[in-house]
């Protein structure tokens, strides 16, 4: 979609509503439905920003790809035409390579250690690495673990992926993972995936339970195999152009609200995951929990590939692994 159209939409939306205009209106565009836990967390963030700024700052949220795909909204941030967006960290890999760390298969032993890493110095360092591409990383939203869902039969072991076209995000790491398991990775935008599954453009996809359920992909893909191969978080970004125009006080207000919304979102996410799995079973989906070891073994060589990319990548991955060994 043309960036000029995006900009015009944003300008039109700032016209008066009959209410007293705040000093600053921030625009946030993302691709998720309004029922999604991440969207609800963003609404909560907006409420906190408005409250803490005494009404000086208002957050306007545009869900469901109203302002473009994840890649398009990122590009709008980079040129300063949009203030905030939420994207999967996979989308950022091509611009800020350190984000590839989250696509390393079976990197985290459990949710507890994953949150500890995200909330700690490693998580901060990865967020900061996007500043070179004019993006200010504010916080992570939990996107759970990603697993395979398919149309014809369940994925019980890596060989079941042989010859299957599996939709992945536009992520070199996600493409490599599926191809290493024997599938044929097929990048398709999220908004086009339902139709692609329906028409047989792809045989399956991989994602977390709430996304599988809320997208209604269960209507066409009746097998969900919880092998939980990666835990790729969502990331909330602000345009550095916007960030640098804020006062130090307002920067603190926004960062604090973002962090609080992330904690709130984790609670919503846990509830949504349980609800999603219960509901897809009711809708006739066969949910299986395959042995993860064959998948881990098949993907073990990918670690060396990551290490060879850069010393920094190797350092971060090994520090995450060491942290878990010492738990």
> pLDDT by residue (tens digit) across 129-165?
999 999 999 999 999 999 999 999 999 999 999 999 9
Tokens 């939409």 found at: 9
**Based on the domain organization, do 151 and 138 belong to the same domain?**
no
**Based on the domain organization, do 23 and 167 belong to the same domain?**
no
pLDDT at 24 over 70: yes
Query: 23 is written with which tokens?
Result: 């000093």
Q: Are 130 and 99 in contact (CB under 8 A)?
A: yes
**Based on the domain organization, do 13 and 128 belong to the same domain?**
yes
CATH number for the domain including 256? 3.40.190.170
Which pLDDT belongs to residue 325?
74
* Average per-residue pLDDT for the chain: 92
Which pLDDT belongs to residue 294?
97
Which pLDDT belongs to residue 263?
97
Strand 223-230, strand 146-150: pairing: antiparallel
Query: 247 is written with which tokens?
Result: 């006062």
**Based on the domain organization, do 186 and 254 belong to the same domain?**
no
Which pLDDT belongs to residue 15?
47
Instruction: Tell me if residue 45 falls in helix, strand or coil.
Output: helix
Query: 14 is written with which tokens?
Result: 């700032």
Which pLDDT belongs to residue 277?
98
151, exposed or middle or buried, with CB in 10 Å at 0-12, 13-18, 19+? middle
Query: 104 is written with which tokens?
Result: 């390393």
- CA–CA dist 317, 108 (Å, integer): 10
- From the list 4, 123, 82, 75, the residue with the least C-alpha distance to 243 is 82
Which pLDDT belongs to residue 167?
98
**Based on the domain organization, do 173 and 51 belong to the same domain?**
no
Q: Are 242 and 80 in contact (CB under 8 A)?
A: yes
Apex CA 225: angle with CA 32 and CA 275, to 5°?
50
- From the list 69, 65, 70, 62, the residue with the least C-alpha distance to 46 is 62
Which pLDDT belongs to residue 246?
98
**Based on the domain organization, do 293 and 264 belong to the same domain?**
no
**Based on the domain organization, do 132 and 8 belong to the same domain?**
yes
Which pLDDT belongs to residue 324?
84
**Based on the domain organization, do 160 and 287 belong to the same domain?**
yes
Res. 240 pLDDT band, cuts 50 70 90: very high
**Based on the domain organization, do 160 and 265 belong to the same domain?**
no
Which pLDDT belongs to residue 172?
85
Give this prediction's pTM.
0.86
**Based on the domain organization, do 59 and 136 belong to the same domain?**
yes
Instruction: Tell me if residue 142 falls in helix, strand or coil.
Output: coil
Q: Are 215 and 194 in contact (CB under 8 A)?
A: yes
Query: 51 is written with which tokens?
Result: 């409250």
Instruction: Tell me if residue 290 falls in helix, strand or coil.
Output: coil
> pLDDT by residue (tens digit) across 164-210?
999 998 888 899 999 999 999 999 988 899 999 999 999 999 999 99
Number of domains into which the chain is organized: 2
- CA–CA dist 82, 13 (Å, integer): 12
**Based on the domain organization, do 227 and 237 belong to the same domain?**
no
In degrees rounded to 5, what are phi and psi of residue 145?
-115, 150
> pLDDT by residue (tens digit) across 62-115?
999 999 999 999 999 999 999 999 999 988 988 899 999 999 999 999 999 999
Query: 136 is written with which tokens?
Result: 């200010």
Res. 5 pLDDT band, cuts 50 70 90: low
pLDDT at 118 over 80: yes
**Based on the domain organization, do 248 and 237 belong to the same domain?**
yes
Residue span of the structural domain in which 9 resides: 3-143+233-275
């Amino acid at each position: 979609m043309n960036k000029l159209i995006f900009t015009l939409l944003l300008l039109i939306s700032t016209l008066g509503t009959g209410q007293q205009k705040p000093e600053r209106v921030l625009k946030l565009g993302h691709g998720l439905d309004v029922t999604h836990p991440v969207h609800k967390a963003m609404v909560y963030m907006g409420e906190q920003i408005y409250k803490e700024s005494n009404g000086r700052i208002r957050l306007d949220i545009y869900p469901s790809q109203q302002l473009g795909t994840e890649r398009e909204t990122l590009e709008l941030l980079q040129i300063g035409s949009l203030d905030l967006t939420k994207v999967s960290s996979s989308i950022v890999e091509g611009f800020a390579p350190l984000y590839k760390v989250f696509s390393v298969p079976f990197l985290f032993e459990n949710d507890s250690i994953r949150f500890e890493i995200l909330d700690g110095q490693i998580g901060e360092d990865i967020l900061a690495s996007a500043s070179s591409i004019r993006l200010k990383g504010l916080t992570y939203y939990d996107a759970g673990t990603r697993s395979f869902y398919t149309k014809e039969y369940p994925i019980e072991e890596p060989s079941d992926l042989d010859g299957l076209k599996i939709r992945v995000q536009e992520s070199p790491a996600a493409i490599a993972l599926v191809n290493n398991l024997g599938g044929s990775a097929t990048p398709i935008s999220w908004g086009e995936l339902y139709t692609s599954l329906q028409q047989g453009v792809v045989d399956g996809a991989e994602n977390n339970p709430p996304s599988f359920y809320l997208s209604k992909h269960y209507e066409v893909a009746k097998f969900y195999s919880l092998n939980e191969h990666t835990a790729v978080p969502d990331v909330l970004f602000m345009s550095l152009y916007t960030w640098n125009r804020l006062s130090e006080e307002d920067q603190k207000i926004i960062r604090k609200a973002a962090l609080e919304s992330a904690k709130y979102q984790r609670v919503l996410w846990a509830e949504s995951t349980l609800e999603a799995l219960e509901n897809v079973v009711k809708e006739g989906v066969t949910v299986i929990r395959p042995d993860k070891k064959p998948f881990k073994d098949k993907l073990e060589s990918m670690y060396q590939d990551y290490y060879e990319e850069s010393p920094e990548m190797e350092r971060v991955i090994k520090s995450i692994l060491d942290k878990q060994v010492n738990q």
